[in-house]
Amino acid sequence: MIEHALAQDSALIRLIDQLIVFLVLSAIALLPFNEVETLPYIIGELSPLPSAWALLIAWPFLIVSLLAKHRLTIPDTLVFYLLVGFLAIILLTGLINFNEIGTNAIKGRHGPERYFKQVLVYVFGLATSVALYDFFRSKKLNFFETVQLGVLISLFFIIPYSIFELGRIFNFEICDNILSYINKIIRISPHYKLRIRSVSGEGSWFGMYLAFAWPFIINWFMQGRNKVWLKVFVLSFLTVIFYFSYSRFLYAVILSETALFLVFIALFKGIKKCPPRRLLLFCVTLSISLLCTHSMDTHKYAISPKKNADSGKDVLRSFTSKNQYHLSNIGRLGCWKAGFNVGVNNPVFGIGLGQFCFHMKDNIPEWALESDEIKYWANDIPGTNLAPTHNLYSRLFAETGLVGLALWVLAWLVFVVDLWRKQLLNFSHEINTLLLAGLGCILIGFNTDTFRIMEVWILLACYYSIQSSSNNAIECQPHKPKTSST
């Protein structure tokens, strides 16, 4: 048998294990590259994600590793079972809406194609989270440390690229030229002129990565006594990047996760395990960096006022007055409301996964029609982008009904409550980080409507690994054939 031969060849297995760890670490480090338009479009909506490619390449090796050890360990947690139940609801709603899905068509796209591709994306994410959990558990490797290392490696991409973006904002032509060269590798669309999005597709997508990564960066800052000045520099520069992104979602993520970190330290009595001087240094560094950055933004001394149409104040004012961000708010809220309207009309099982785009045009609120984005998404021109909901919860209500939405939300509530209880019993920096990242992934659902966010599935694998310390696992071991002795 092939698996017996592999099991005996320990050198080959060690090599495969090292390759898997390398690919997983690469996938985590490449998470901020969430819209690389130059990659071949052959795996659907996962195509622009280098992290998805790395995990896809890792899968054959994960299977070989599984064959060598003869068993698969699945997480025995309520979160996992709820996510499996959600998959069952996806399949059930597909059957219930089978006839309508078969007739859906818009912009040259068809209902069955959308449905099956969306199911595959979800299955890929769910299976990957279990495979990563099983591999790192069986090899007795610390997956939390692997994730944190991957996040830190990602800063080697984020910070240098953002330095050039910052230089371009302050009118250094050489920075603009360098970015133009780099962007030929990762982008097709023009790069931002006066805002920062780093290596991500746009500012809010950078915020989605940070919703996952920022708690790990905070944890790194708070741990250890070495390289303090390096940590201060990284934290200070990241604060500058955050501010000049002018992203409403990114602002909300950083402010909420930072505030909750401080609240959790006090609430869970983590101050005993958190050096007071380091905590003070964290708060002072953030405050001074934010004040200095705000001063730079206010004076705008490096670029002319006519060119600089963006500012942090404009982002906040967009919620109360009309400016360049106001119509974007209308576009997003209009999509949310359209998804809600579809759900109200199909409240129990929805219309089937991936089918919102075929119903969007008939459910747009009138007040949203002033948005050019809404008009673009609602047109019937082949080749143009399909309509999003810009909100995962609105989409789930529309496509899987209250049943599907309830299962997804319940899974994340269990995730949060379980970690919350663990923190009340005994404060842990690792659990605190996962709790904050979990809340961040919940926030991601208010900015996007897709299951392709690899941060979510990697975080779930990390959560399963923490749970395995409580022996919450089930081993699925196939029957081994008897071997005769001679």
Q: What is the crossing angle of helices 50-69 and 111-138, to 10°?
A: 50
In 3D space, the residue among 384, 376, 387, 386 whose CA is nearest the CA of residue 337 turns out to be: 387
pLDDT digits (tens, 9 = 90+) for 420-441: 999 988 888 999 999 999 999 9
Q: What residue spans of 190-325 are helical by DSSP H?
A: 203-222, 228-244, 248-267, 276-299, 312-317
Q: What is the crossing angle of helices 143-169 and 454-468, to 10°?
A: 150
Residue 305: what pLDDT?
Answer: 44
Cβ–Cβ < 8 Å for 47, 40: yes
Question: Chain-centre distance of CA 128, in angstroms?
Answer: 14
Lowest mean pLDDT among 51-60, 83-92, 302-311: 302-311
How far is the C-alpha of 22 from the C-alpha of 54, rounded, in Å?
9
CA distance to 60, 151, 202, 289, per residue, from 249 (Å): 37, 20, 11, 20
Residue 322: what pLDDT?
Answer: 60
Give the model's confidence band at 239: pLDDT under 50 very low, under 70 low, under 90 confident, else very high.
very high
Question: What ranges do the domains of the chain cover?
Answer: 2-70+142-321+426-472
Whether the per-residue pLDDT at 484 is higher than 50: the answer is: no
Cβ–Cβ < 8 Å for 220, 214: no
Cβ–Cβ < 8 Å for 389, 118: no
Mean pLDDT of the region 311-333: 62
Whether the per-residue pLDDT at 298 is higher than 70: the answer is: no
How far is the C-alpha of 108 from the C-alpha of 105, rounded, in Å?
7
Between 59 and 277, residue with greater pLDDT? 59
- Percentages of the chain per state (helix, strand, coil), in multiples of 5: 70, 0, 30
Mean pLDDT of the region 391-414: 96
Q: Which helix (H) or strand (E) holds 405?
A: helix 392-425
Share of the chain above pLDDT 90, in %: 58
How far is the C-alpha of 361 from the C-alpha of 136, rounded, in Å?
46
Q: What is the crossing angle of helices 429-444 and 248-267, to 10°?
A: 150
CA dihedral 223, 229, 230, 233 (to 10 degrees): 110
253 Cβ neighbours under 8 A, 6+ residues apart? 207, 208, 210, 211, 214, 440, 443
pLDDT digits (tens, 9 = 90+) for 13-38: 889 999 999 999 999 999 999 989 88
Q: Which two tokens stand for residue 333?
A: 């809220």
pLDDT digits (tens, 9 = 90+) for 168-189: 888 888 998 999 888 888 887 7
Residue 485: what pLDDT?
Answer: 41
Between 46 and 224, residue with greater pLDDT? 46
How far is the C-alpha of 68 from the C-alpha of 91, rounded, in Å?
32
CA distance to 68, 276, 365, per residue, from 34 (Å): 33, 36, 30
Mean pLDDT of the region 208-234: 93
Lowest mean pLDDT among 105-109, 285-289, 297-301: 297-301
Beta bridge partners of 475: 73
pLDDT digits (tens, 9 = 90+) for 113-164: 999 999 999 999 999 999 999 999 999 999 999 999 999 999 999 999 999 9
Question: Chain-centre distance of CA 82, in angstroms?
Answer: 20
Give the model's confidence band at 268: pLDDT under 50 very low, under 70 low, under 90 confident, else very high.
confident
Between 210 and 478, residue with greater pLDDT? 210
Phi then psi for residue 437, to 5 deg, are: -65, -35
Residue 230: what pLDDT?
Answer: 94
pTM > 0.75: yes or no: yes
* Mean pLDDT score of the chain: 87
In 3D space, the residue among 320, 327, 181, 200 whose CA is nearest the CA of residue 253 turns out to be: 200
Residue 314: what pLDDT?
Answer: 56
In 3D space, the residue among 32, 55, 57, 37 whose CA is nearest the CA of residue 47 turns out to be: 37
Q: Which two tokens stand for residue 232?
A: 């201060």
Half-sphere exposure of 49 (CA within 13 A, CB side): 25
> Tokens 């900015």 correspond to what residue?
447
Residue 150: what pLDDT?
Answer: 97
Give the model's confidence band at 6: pLDDT under 50 very low, under 70 low, under 90 confident, else very high.
very low
How far is the C-alpha of 403 from the C-alpha of 395, rounded, in Å?
13
In 3D space, the residue among 436, 457, 464, 456 whose CA is nearest the CA of residue 218 turns out to be: 436
Q: What residue spans of 445-484 are helical by DSSP H?
A: 454-468
In 3D space, the residue among 169, 207, 165, 219 whose CA is nearest the CA of residue 187 turns out to be: 165
In 3D space, the residue among 4, 6, 131 whose CA is nearest the CA of residue 56 turns out to be: 131
Highest mean pLDDT among 18-27, 181-190, 241-250, 461-470: 18-27
Whether the per-residue pLDDT at 302 is higher than 50: the answer is: no
Phi then psi for residue 475, to 5 deg, are: -95, 125
Whether the per-residue pLDDT at 374 is higher than 50: the answer is: yes
